A and B are shown apart, each in its own frame.
Chain A
Amino acid sequence: METKVKSACETCAHFNAEGLKKLGIKTDNFDFVVALAGNPNTGKSTVFNALTGLRQHTGNWPGKTVTRAEGGFEYNTQKFKLVDLPGTYSLLSTSDDEEAARDFILFGKPNVTVIVVDANRLERNLNLVLQILEITDKAILCLNLMDEAKRNNIHIDQRTLSRDLGIPVVATSARFNEGIPDLIQTISDMANGNIICKPHRIKNVPENIEAAVKKLSKEIEKEFPNIPNSRWIAFRLLEGDTQIINALKQGEFV
Chain B
Amino acid sequence: MNQKNINHIIELSNELRWQIGDDFHDNLTESIYADAADIVKDTVQVDNSKKRFRLDSKIDKIVTSKIFGFPIMFLILAIVLWLTIIGANYPSSLLANLLLDTIHPALKEGAQVLSMPWWLDGFLIDGVYLAVAWVIAVMLPPMAIFFPLFTLLEDFGYLPRVAFNLDSLFKKAGAHGKQALTMSMGFGCNAAGVVATRIIDSPRERLIAIITNNFSLCNGRWPTQILIATIFIGAVVPSSFSSLASLMAVIGIAILGMAFMFTVSWALSKTILKGEVSTFNLELPPYRPPRFWKTIYTSLIDRTLIVLWRAIVFAAPAGAVIWLISNMYIGNESIASWTINSLDGFGFLLGLNGVILLAYIVAIPANEIVIPTILMLTVLVTGIAGGSGAGVMFELDSVSATGDILRAGGWTLLTAINLMLFSLLHNPCSTTIYTIYKETKSVKWTVFASIMPVVLGFIVTFLVAQFWRLLS
- Contact in complex: A203, B31 (CB < 8 Å): yes
Interface residues of A in 139-174 (CB under 8 A from B): 148, 151-158, 160-161, 164-165
Contacts of A124 in B (CB 8 A): 36
Interface residues of A in 1-43 (CB under 8 A from B): 1-2, 40-41
- Contact in complex: A120, B1 (CB < 8 Å): no
Stretch from B252-260, B281-289, B365-373, B460-468 at the A interface = B281-289
Residue of chain A at shortest CB distance from B160: A61
Residue of chain B at shortest CB distance from A148: B286
A54 to chain B, nearest CB (A): 10
Is the CB of B196 closer than 8 A to any CB of chain A?
A: yes
A160 to chain B, nearest CB (A): 5
Partner of B9, one of A60, A63, A153, A248: A248
Q: How far is the CA of A237 from the CA of B46 in the complex (A)?
A: 39
- Contact in complex: B201, A95 (CB < 8 Å): yes
Interface size class of A (residues with CB under 8 A): 35 or more
- Contact in complex: B52, A165 (CB < 8 Å): no
- Contact in complex: A59, B31 (CB < 8 Å): no
Q: How far is the CA of A206 from the CA of B5 in the complex (A)?
A: 27
Given contacts A61-B159, A66-B196, A130-B32, contact A122 B40 (CB under 8 A): yes
- Contact in complex: B181, A63 (CB < 8 Å): yes
Partner of B13, one of A202, A209, A216: A216
- Contact in complex: B199, A66 (CB < 8 Å): yes
Is the CB of B342 closer than 8 A to any CB of chain A?
A: no
Contacts of B24 in A (CB 8 A): 209, 238-239
Residue of chain B at shortest CB distance from A153: B47
Is the CB of A208 closer than 8 A to any CB of chain B?
A: yes
- Contact in complex: B16, A200 (CB < 8 Å): no
Q: How far is the CA of A61 from the CA of B286 in the complex (A)?
A: 10
Contacts of B276 in A (CB 8 A): none
- Contact in complex: B1, A219 (CB < 8 Å): no
Q: How far is the CA of A59 from the CA of B2 in the complex (A)?
A: 49
Given contacts A63-B178, A152-B50, A209-B24, contact A223 B2 (CB under 8 A): yes
Given contacts A66-B199, A92-B25, contact A59 B13 (CB under 8 A): no
Is the CB of B19 closer than 8 A to any CB of chain A?
A: yes
A242 to chain B, nearest CB (A): 11
Is the CB of B113 closer than 8 A to any CB of chain A?
A: no
Residue-wise interface mask of B (15-42) relative to A, using a CB-CB cutoff of 8 A (1 in contact, 0 not): 0110110001101111111111111101
- Contact in complex: B160, A62 (CB < 8 Å): yes
B151 to chain A, nearest CB (A): 8
Is the CB of B121 closer than 8 A to any CB of chain A?
A: no
Given contacts A63-B178, A127-B36, contact A216 B25 (CB under 8 A): no
Given contacts A40-B283, A60-B288, contact A206 B27 (CB under 8 A): yes
Residue of chain B at shortest CB distance from A236: B13
- Contact in complex: B285, A61 (CB < 8 Å): yes
Given contacts A202-B28, A206-B31, contact A238 B42 (CB under 8 A): no
Given contacts A237-B10, A238-B16, contact A59 B154 (CB under 8 A): yes
Residue of chain B at shortest CB distance from A160: B43
B186 to chain A, nearest CB (A): 14
Q: How far is the CA of A64 from the CA of B17 in the complex (A)?
A: 37
Contacts of B28 in A (CB 8 A): 92, 202, 205, 209, 235, 239
- Contact in complex: A161, B39 (CB < 8 Å): yes
Is the CB of B298 closer than 8 A to any CB of chain A?
A: yes
Contacts of A59 in B (CB 8 A): 151, 154-155, 159
Query: Do most interface residues of chain B lie in helix, strand or loop, or is the interface mixed?
Result: helix
- Contact in complex: A67, B181 (CB < 8 Å): no
Is the CB of B198 closer than 8 A to any CB of chain A?
A: yes
- Contact in complex: A208, B13 (CB < 8 Å): no
- Contact in complex: A1, B39 (CB < 8 Å): no
- Contact in complex: B285, A41 (CB < 8 Å): yes
B39 to chain A, nearest CB (A): 5
Is the CB of B291 closer than 8 A to any CB of chain A?
A: yes
Is the CB of B44 closer than 8 A to any CB of chain A?
A: yes
Contacts of A148 in B (CB 8 A): 52, 286, 288
Is the CB of B297 closer than 8 A to any CB of chain A?
A: yes
Contacts of A61 in B (CB 8 A): 154, 157, 159-160, 163, 181, 285
Contacts of A175 in B (CB 8 A): 288, 291
User: Which of the listed residues B33, B44, B198 has the most CB atoms from chain A within 10 Å of its own CB?
Assistant: B44
- Contact in complex: B156, A60 (CB < 8 Å): yes
Partner of B283, one of A41, A55, A126, A206: A41
- Contact in complex: A202, B32 (CB < 8 Å): yes
Partner of B42, one of A92, A120, A157, A205: A157
Is the CB of A131 closer than 8 A to any CB of chain B?
A: yes
- Contact in complex: B9, A223 (CB < 8 Å): yes
Contacts of A120 in B (CB 8 A): 286
Given contacts A61-B159, A152-B52, A164-B42, contact A205 B27 (CB under 8 A): yes
A230 to chain B, nearest CB (A): 10
Contacts of B199 in A (CB 8 A): 63, 66
Interface residues of B in 155-197 (CB under 8 A from A): 155-157, 159-160, 163, 178, 181, 195-196
- Contact in complex: A209, B27 (CB < 8 Å): yes
Is the CB of A212 closer than 8 A to any CB of chain B?
A: yes
Q: How far is the CA of A165 from the CA of B31 in the complex (A)?
A: 15
Is the CB of B293 closer than 8 A to any CB of chain A?
A: yes
Is the CB of B241 closer than 8 A to any CB of chain A?
A: no
Is the CB of B8 closer than 8 A to any CB of chain A?
A: yes
Given contacts A41-B285, A130-B36, contact A152 B5 (CB under 8 A): no
Contacts of B29 in A (CB 8 A): 92
The residues of B with any CB-CB pair to A shorter than 8 Å are: 1-3, 5-6, 8-10, 12-13, 16-17, 19-20, 24-25, 27-40, 42-47, 49-50, 52-53, 151, 154-157, 159-160, 163, 178, 181, 195-196, 198-199, 201, 281-283, 285-286, 288, 291, 293-294, 297-298, 301-303
Can you give 6 A-B contacts (C-beta < 8 A)?
A61-B159, A120-B286, A122-B44, A127-B32, A215-B12, A240-B17
Closest 4 CB pairs of A and B: A153-B47, A126-B36, A237-B13, A66-B198
Given contacts A66-B199, A126-B35, 12 further A-B contacts (CB under 8 A): A2-B294, A60-B155, A60-B157, A62-B160, A123-B40, A130-B36, A160-B43, A175-B288, A220-B9, A234-B13, A237-B13, A249-B10
